[in-house]
A = this chain, B = another copy of it.
């Protein structure tokens, strides 16, 4: 399959795993060029997250917005599928890493990952809007609904008429905008999307946690898939906390509902297995 020399193959192997994130030598670890011992005790955890993902340290103002988004997103209760999964996993004795994995695995497009789609929507609007923001929003919503259906990621909540996490996060964005730290452009876009949905549907569909953190992450310049990644880092805290609480509760083999509530069988009535056809060749 190859006429390469051993030296060439070895060079290829050395280049196979390459990264710009971390450099390691015996006794030395550096992250994005910074010695690990210089970072420990100096940078905050959100700053470290930013450094790992982006390649440079954020300003304090940027780190503060990122920190607020992370704090806001840690948990939304034990009946969210991800958290219920983590708790059931803990009840069958799964170690915390395993319980966390099963739970984090489901944080995709529909459950938590909606922030990614919302960021893509905002970014499409930002790329289109030259002066006429409402027009750009209406065009983007039209295109989104045609492609994906009428649920707009980041807006509406089955439970909260108003999501209590939105206003404090938007207030922090406004504070940063006044200080010249962010443009405020995506806060405007988010609010206009909220208005645009009301124009389309005739009723208020208020922004939810995905819609507001998407504003923060766009203001901070993150790529859309990292919106999901950051949400996972935050929700991992809730997943861990619930798995831990469940593991301390003494439950064992916890199903989704108590055993006294049966499930409903909707399949065929009892029937006979047909006589096996022994003609198998």
Contacts and interface: CB of A to CB of B under 8 A. Distances in A.
Contacts of A233: 233, 236-237, 240
Interface of A: 1-2, 4, 6-7, 9-10, 12-24, 26-46, 48-49, 52-53, 55, 57, 59-60, 63-64, 67-68, 70-72, 74-81, 84-85, 87-89, 91-113, 158-165, 167-169, 171-172, 225-226, 228-229, 232-234, 236-238, 240-245, 247, 252-274, 276-277, 279-281
B168 A40 contact: yes
A32 B268 contact: yes
A103 B105 CA distance: 10
10 contacts: A4-B260, A10-B13, A12-B258, A27-B161, A29-B160, A32-B267, A60-B277, A79-B255, A93-B108, A98-B101
Contacts of A59: 277
Contacts of A241: 21, 52-53
A15 B164 CA distance: 26
Contacts of A57: 273-274
| Residue of A38, A255, A263 ringed by the most chain B CB atoms within 10 A | A263
Nearest to A97: B107
A34 B77 contact: no
Contact of A92 (B4, B26, B32, B108): B108
A22 B265 contact: yes
Nearest to A64: B280
